[in-house]
Amino acid sequence: HGLGSLGLRHFNLLKKLGCGDIGTVYLAELTGTNCLFAIKVMDNEFLERRNKMSRAQTEKDILKMLDHPFLPTLYAHFTSDNLSCLVMECCPGGDLHVLRQKQPGRWFPEPAARFYVAEVLLALEYLHMLGVIYRDLKPENILVRDDGHIMVTDFDLSLRCTVSPTLLNSSSPLHADAMRLSSGSRNGSNCIEPSCFRPKLSHGSGNKKKGKQHRIMMKKLKKSDLIARFKSLPQ
């Protein structure tokens, strides 16, 4: 189909994959093919009433910029019957939150957690090179492809900078700016450091009240300089 005529009528919506703050994601098949996609459908009237049109535009603009193995591919975007639609690749493995619940003890073994965190870091580094600050880092937004690798999703809360930031840590002035800008977010999406994300994979919710084991892990993470370690790796 030509991009100019592509619409929802060309897809069979098979099932709902998830529902977010600005839209609903469906598993869809392109009519007449066996090709599966994830389609994010957003109601423009709803977005206008809730003053969220800018967030939808931000996500679309960022998706159009991306070319990275751990970030989504945007195949097409169109408006159909006042619905804005983003056609992206689908991830049959679900998200890390669901996958974690299936593990013994409901948390990933250390090697698996390191693997996922490393791939997330590579995705974040690429985004930072583009001048994008990702502000919604949580297991629910990390999808798993059929080959086991990850895909970071949901960019409507992200910030675009005029200057590309370096990999952020708590001592960076840009980190303070990002935290201040994100303080208005209602869903607590301030987690942009690896040390915030890793405990959620290996020890559940990341709540400090979860027990002695989690407190020990947090103490070790605070003592370790993760940024320095990654900078020491060969380029």
CATH of domain 96-231: 1.10.510.10
Inform me whether the pLDDT recorded for 112 exceeds 90: yes
Between helix 194-202 and helix 110-129 the angle, nearest 10°, is 150
136 part of the active site: yes
* Domain-wise residue ranges, the chain: 8-88, 96-231
Question: How large is the average pLDDT for residues 73-99?
Answer: 94
Residues 8-88, CATH architecture: 2-Layer Sandwich (3.30)
**Coil, strand or helix: which one is 61?**
helix
User: Is residue 174 over pLDDT 80?
Assistant: no
Q: What is the mean pLDDT of residues 110-131?
A: 95
Q: Which pTM was predicted?
A: 0.72
Q: Do domains 8-88 and 96-231 have the same CATH topology?
A: no
> Three-class SS string for the chain?
CCCCCCCHHHEEEEEEEEECCCCEEEEEEECCCCCEEEEEEEEHHHHHHCCCHHHHHHHHHHHHHCCCCCCCCEEEEEEECCEEEEEECCCCCCEHHHHHHCCHHHCCCHHHHHHHHHHHHHHHHHHHHCCEECCCCCHHHEEECCCCCEEECCCCCCEECCCCCCCCCCCCHHHHHHHHHHCCCCCCCCCCCHHHHHHHHHCCCCCHHHCHHHHHHHHHHHHCCHHHHHHCCCC
What would the pLDDT profile of 5-43 be if each residue is shown by its tens digit?
Answer: 789 999 999 999 999 999 999 999 999 999 999 999 999
User: For residues 128 and 210, which has the higher predicted lDDT (pLDDT)?
Assistant: 128
Q: Which of 95, 136, 154, 156 is catalytic?
A: 136
Q: Is the pLDDT assigned to residue 143 strictly greater than 60?
A: yes
Distance CA 162, CA 159 (A): 10
Look at residue 144 and tell me whether its pLDDT is greater than 50.
yes
Give the pLDDT band of residue 235 (cuts 50, 70, 90).
very low
